[in-house]
């Protein structure tokens, strides 16, 4: 049996939930497929307060923003939320296949919004397969979702926002953090996050990297060293840090498998943290009717993921003919919000990445100009 839906949203994180609500707001009926057993995406473990403006619920804790977005979706009779539903493929005949509770479903959407998010990057070094070496996301899940204290003493790798925030949350869970090391010469995350852990006594060492991890049956310590201006290891600068857990927060990469498989024009954009689908100003990819919103189209903050989701949801529903005037107005408002979030120095990287993505779209697409 084929299940028909007007709009299919893949992923129930901040972008997907916002996309579904926006599309339903205009009158479209929406099906969300989420591969996890609960909606919310990464918001379910973000116990810190979010940045941005009140339009993106700034000042509220991520976990409550997730509950709010999920609540709005659950209350909306226009939206069906399917969890334990992994989208497997998007086909030329318009059929999308889904694995749901061990059953293979076929869905025929008129429009599809890919909001699959991102995956953590890993780091290559001797000993990196020892038990006790985690991605920061896993540590956060253990602590903030499962309520398990994940370690006694941690060394954090990466001073981007995730590394800084997870360090703070480890301290809140009563875990010792030996330090945060960062290969770059500067702290990449927000400095207020850095100052927060610094005044709790955690040193932040820029220009430092992992040489190797060691331990007999599990991690017992890590050797770190300093890096010179060229990013090369400085001989003789090695130090040993005793710890039972090494937490890697070395960046995210967009989860674009479905975009590749659907045949979207893709481009590798460093500033957007990997290969991303080329999208137009409505976030529509080169495959007509297929949209990409949130981290899948470039790694950014959850606040912008929510706005991107809203924009894609409005554009998809608008293109189906739902309240076109209202859609147009709301789309302009969402674009203005994104422009505002990206207008400062921290948004510069994203803006440069988006410009390169558009350039790539012109060269690659020929007919497809974004």
Partner 1 sequence: MLIETGIPTAEDLQSVTPPAGRLARGAVAIAECFQKIPCNPCTRACPRHAIRIEPDINETPQIDYEACTGCGACIARCPGLAIFVVDMTYSDSEALVMLAFEFLPVPEAGQLACGLDREGKELGWFPVVRVVSGGKENKTYTVSLAVPRELAMEVRNIRAGGYQNGKQNG
Tell whether residue 52 is a contact of partner 1 (CB under 8 A): yes
Sole residue written with tokens 């979207």: 264
Nearer to partner 1, 51 or 214 (CB): 51
β-strand partners of 177: 154
Sign of CA dihedral 297, 298, 301, 303: negative
Supply φ then ψ for residue 317, to 5 degrees: -65, -40
The number of beta carbons lying within 10 Å of the beta carbon of residue 329 is 12
- Binding map of partner 1 across residues 270-309, x = CB under 8 A, - = no contact: ---------------------------------x------
Nearer to partner 1, 321 or 348 (CB): 348
The window from 138-146, 223-231, 270-278, 343-351 that contacts partner 1 (CB under 8 A) reads 343-351
Tell whether residue 340 is a contact of partner 1 (CB under 8 A): yes
Nearer to partner 1, 111 or 226 (CB): 226
Q: Please tell me whether residue 6 adopts helix, strand or coil conformation.
A: strand
Q: What does the DSSP 8-state code read for residue 277?
A: E
User: Which one among 25, 50, 134, 291 touches partner 1, defined by CB under 8 A?
Assistant: 50
Cα separation, 141 vs 172, in Å, equals 14
DSSP string, 130-178: STTEEEHHHHHIIIIIS-----SEEEEE--SHHHHHHHHHHHHTT-EEE
Tell whether residue 97 is a contact of partner 1 (CB under 8 A): no
List the one residue out of 218, 215, 257 whose CA is nearest residue 88: 257
The window from 27-35, 42-50, 73-81, 85-93 that contacts partner 1 (CB under 8 A) reads 42-50
Cα separation, 177 vs 203, in Å, equals 9
Nearer to partner 1, 79 or 225 (CB): 225
Interface with partner 1 (CB under 8 A), residue total 41
**Do 177 and 171 form a contact (C-beta atoms < 8 A)?**
yes
By CB under 8 A, what part of segment 190-209 binds partner 1? Answer: 190-202, 204, 206
With b meaning 16 or more CB within 10 Å and e meaning fewer, what string describes 73-111? beebebbebbeebebeebeeeeebebebeeeebebebbb
Tell whether residue 48 is a contact of partner 1 (CB under 8 A): yes
User: Which one among 2, 58, 148, 332 touches partner 1, defined by CB under 8 A?
Assistant: 58
The window from 31-39, 148-156, 323-331, 340-348 that contacts partner 1 (CB under 8 A) reads 340-348
The window from 28-36, 43-51, 78-86, 238-246 that contacts partner 1 (CB under 8 A) reads 43-51
User: Which one among 4, 53, 234, 270 touches partner 1, defined by CB under 8 A?
Assistant: 53
Q: Please tell me whether residue 312 adopts helix, strand or coil conformation.
A: helix
By the criterion CB under 8 A, which residues form the site for partner 1?
A: 48-54, 58-61, 64, 171-172, 185-187, 190-202, 204, 206, 303, 340-347
């Amino acid at each position: 049996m084929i299940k028909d839906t007007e709009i299919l949203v893949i992923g129930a994180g901040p972008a997907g939930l916002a996309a579904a609500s926006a599309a339903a707001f205009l009158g479209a009926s929406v099906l969300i497929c989420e591969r996890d057993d609960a909606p919310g995406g990464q918001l379910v473990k973000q116990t810190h307060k979010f940045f941005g403006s009140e339009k993106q619920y700034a000042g509220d804790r991520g976990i409550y923003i997730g509950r709010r977005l999920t609540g709005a979706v659950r209350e909306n009779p226009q939206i069906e939320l399917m969890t334990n539903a992994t989208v497997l493929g998007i086909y030329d005949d318009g059929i999308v296949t889904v694995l749901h509770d061990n059953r293979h479903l076929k869905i025929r959407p008129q429009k599809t919004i890919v909001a699959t998010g991102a995956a953590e990057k890993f780091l290559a070094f001797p000993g990196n397969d020892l038990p006790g070496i985690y991605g920061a996301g896993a540590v956060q899940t253990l602590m903030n979702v499962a309520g398990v204290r994940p370690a006694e003493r941690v060394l954090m790798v990466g001073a981007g926002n995730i590394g800084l925030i997870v360090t703070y949350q480890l301290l809140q869970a009563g875990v010792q953090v030996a330090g945060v090391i960062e290969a770059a010469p500067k702290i990449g995350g927000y400095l207020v996050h850095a100052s927060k852990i610094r005044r709790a006594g955690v040193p932040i060492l820029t220009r430092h990297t992992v040489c190797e991890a060691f331990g007999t049956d599990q991690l017992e310590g890590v050797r770190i060293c300093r890096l010179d201006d060229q990013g090369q290891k400085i001989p003789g600068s090695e130090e040993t840090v005793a710890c039972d857990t090494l937490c890697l927060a070395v960046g995210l990469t967009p989860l674009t498998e479905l975009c590749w498989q659907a045949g979207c024009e893709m481009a590798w954009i460093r500033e957007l943290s990997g290969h991303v689908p080329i999208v137009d100003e409505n976030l529509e990819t080169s495959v007509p009717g297929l949209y990409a919103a949130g981290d899948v189209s470039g790694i950014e903050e959850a606040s912008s993921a929510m706005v991107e989701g809203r924009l894609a949801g409005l554009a998809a529903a608008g293109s189906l003919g739902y309240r076109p005037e209202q859609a147009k107005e709301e789309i302009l408002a969402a674009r203005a919000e994104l422009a505002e979030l990206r207008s400062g120095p921290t948004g510069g990287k994203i803006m440069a990445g988006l410009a390169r993505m558009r350039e790539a779209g012109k060269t690659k697409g020929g007919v497809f100009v974004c």
